[in-house]
Structure 1
Amino acid sequence: MNADVVTHLRCPVCAEPLAEVGAAPPRSLRCPRGHTFDLARQGYVNLLTGRAPHTGDTAEMIAARADFLAAGHYDPVSAALADAAAQALPRDAYAPLVVDAGAGTGRHLAAVLDALPQAVGLALDVSKPASRRAARAHPRADAALADTWARLPLADGTTALLLNVFAPRNGAEFHRVLRADGVLLVATPAAAHLAELVETLGLLRVDPEKEERVAQSLAGHFAAVGATTVSARLALSRSEVRTLVGMGPSAWHTDVDRLGERLTALPEPVEVTLAVRIGCYRPR
């Protein structure tokens, strides 16, 4: 792992610093009290303690997401995050830390790191398939298996920029790990996001109170300092629509046979709205 990332990590058991041990793979991270965490062959470190209350996205969901993102359909979101990060990140002399909490495949984190050549990155996700991919997302990014609902395996006030893209928000922990001059970027679906598919395919609709719930989850810890909405029109094949459904929360609630019947009835290309709100927050 990158030494500039490891220096910010903390043992999830006792919160002591971690250091890499072992001269050759498989290596481990170990704290002064002897708690040891193995580095997987795929490049990520498992910093879960005990059994996680949930396992996150499945291998099938992560594979679908990787395919869809690789086609460039959500590149406008990545570009907007990278632009916001470049404008907001404190100008450190050396290796500020960018953390993506709920990173998935790590594609958005990679785009941000491309825009910040001085930064290093850490992808956090509770899903093993996600962490395997995120560990290879960028030369300056590492990945750790971690439950973002629990205490994050990071030192207090060590993160310069924290990304939260379509993922759960842990306001108290985000505040703890961010520097006083740090920035939190939160990406959530706007009301029009994928609206054409909601009725046609029976997908989950965006909560009309989504923005209010985001604000509540961060209340007392962060102050909003700006927001922008990324909008685009996507022209997708039926196969790409199936992949889009399979990579998100609707995958847990959609009948595969019924989805196939409805997809067959759609004309190609399928016109779909991309609408994502990116909020910028500073610690209080």
Structure 2
Amino acid sequence: MTSMLICPICTSPLQQHQASQGFYCENKHHYDRHKEGYWPLLLVNKTKMQAISREKMRAKRFLLASGIYSPVVDKIAQVLLTLLVNKPELQHLDYQCGDGYYLRALMPNLSALNAQHWGIDDSENTLFAASKAGTAANLLLSGLKKLPIADNSVDVITILDSPLKGKECQRVLKDDGILVMLIPAERHLWQLKQQVYSDLVEKQQEINLPKNIQVIESHQIKFTQDVDGQQAITLLDMSSFGWRANDELRHGIKTQQNTHLEFEFNLVIAKKQG
């Protein structure tokens, strides 16, 4: 079976051996499926993998499993179905998929689509967790500076747990392909931000995209939740500003009840121009 994947060594197209489920190219480079269920598509000794502590991974998994992000998942699924329901078939890539939470949450809601789902990440222990949790997508372990994916081969890319970096997503996305980005808005976790920053003010959010990636629609996702101290710490660790909190501040946040904590995201839908 021919796939959208390319060999990370020689960039030749990869084919899949049906019996072993491994991938190989015409130059006899082989990539076996890991026993845990993902495919390492790596340049041996050249790709530096990331690692996330088990404690933080476990805390994040428990937080997301609580359903706290259900309004986010519901909106993403609704938008994707509306955009893609008439596509005869499509390739979906979840970029930096982490432990696969969004893939697991979205895929049952996208069953009406004739889609092949892929998740890619550069952290082996998060992909291990994704596989253990039963993520049904095809999971790839790879460096992110050069994706093992052919040019113009992906119909839709979701970036839901990280910022857009580099040009690789732009390269692999088809002309007229859809880019879906979940971006924390200014008042996201506002009550936690107020404890971290002494001079906090609201600022207009700017989205910088390549010239050939044009925003076609944007949706605001906004809600409040009561969270306990441990959940607040986990949300802090998931944020872009959590590193600023010292031990004293973290202890204070962990020992307090956080009522009506604001969650706010911009769901940005963009299209690659041909």
Query: Taking structure 2 as the reference length, what is the TM-score of the superposition?
Result: 0.86
Q: Is 1:74 the counterpart of 2:74 in the alignment? A: no
**Cα pair distance change 1:91/1:127, threshold 3 Å:** same
Q: Is 1:222 the counterpart of 2:213 in the alignment? A: yes
How far off is 1:206 after superposition? 10
Which residue of structure 2 lines up, in the alignment, with residue 283 of structure 1?
Answer: 272
Alignment of 1:1-284 (within 5 A): 7-21=3-17, 23=19, 28-49=22-43, 50-53=45-48, 55=50, 57-89=52-84, 91-94=86-89, 96-117=90-111, 118-135=114-131, 140-148=136-144, 150-170=145-165, 172-200=167-195, 208=203, 211-212=205-206, 214-215=207-208, 218-250=209-241, 252-256=243-247, 258-264=249-255, 266=256, 268-284=257-273
Counterpart secondary structure, 1:228 = strand
How far off is 1:52 after superposition? 3.6
CA distance in 2, matches of 1:207, 1:65: 27
How far off is 1:140 after superposition? 4.2
How far off is 1:280 after superposition? 0.5
How far off is 1:47 after superposition? 1.7
**Cα pair distance change 1:241/1:139, threshold 3 Å:** closer
Contact 2:156 2:177 in 1 (8 A): yes
Contact 1:236 1:272 in 2 (8 A): yes
CA deviations over 1:112-161 (Å, ceiling 9, x no partner): 3223222121111111122123335666411111233x122112222111
How far off is 1:8 after superposition? 1.6
How far off is 1:98 after superposition? 0.9
How far off is 1:99 after superposition? 0.5
Structure 2: gaps of 5 or more residues: none
Supply the RMSD in Å over aligned alpha carbons: 2.8
Structure 1: gaps of 5 or more residues: none
Contact 1:134 1:142 in 2 (8 A): no
Counterpart secondary structure, 1:79 = helix
How far off is 1:68 after superposition? 0.9
How far off is 1:101 after superposition? 0.6
Count of aligned residue pairs for this structure pair:
269
Amino acid at match of 1:273: E
How far off is 1:259 after superposition? 1.1
CA distance in 1, matches of 2:202, 2:125: 27
**Cα pair distance change 1:278/1:37, threshold 3 Å:** same
Q: Percent identity?
A: 23
CA deviations over 1:72-104 (Å, ceiling 9, x no partner): 11111111111111111263334x211011111
CA deviations over 1:149-193 (Å, ceiling 9, x no partner): x12211222211110113131463222222223211011100000
How far off is 1:258 after superposition? 4.3
CA distance in 1, matches of 2:8, 2:203: 36
CA distance in 2, matches of 1:119, 1:104: 20
**Cα pair distance change 1:254/1:237, threshold 3 Å:** same
CA distance in 2, matches of 1:23, 1:223: 42
Amino acid at match of 1:7: S
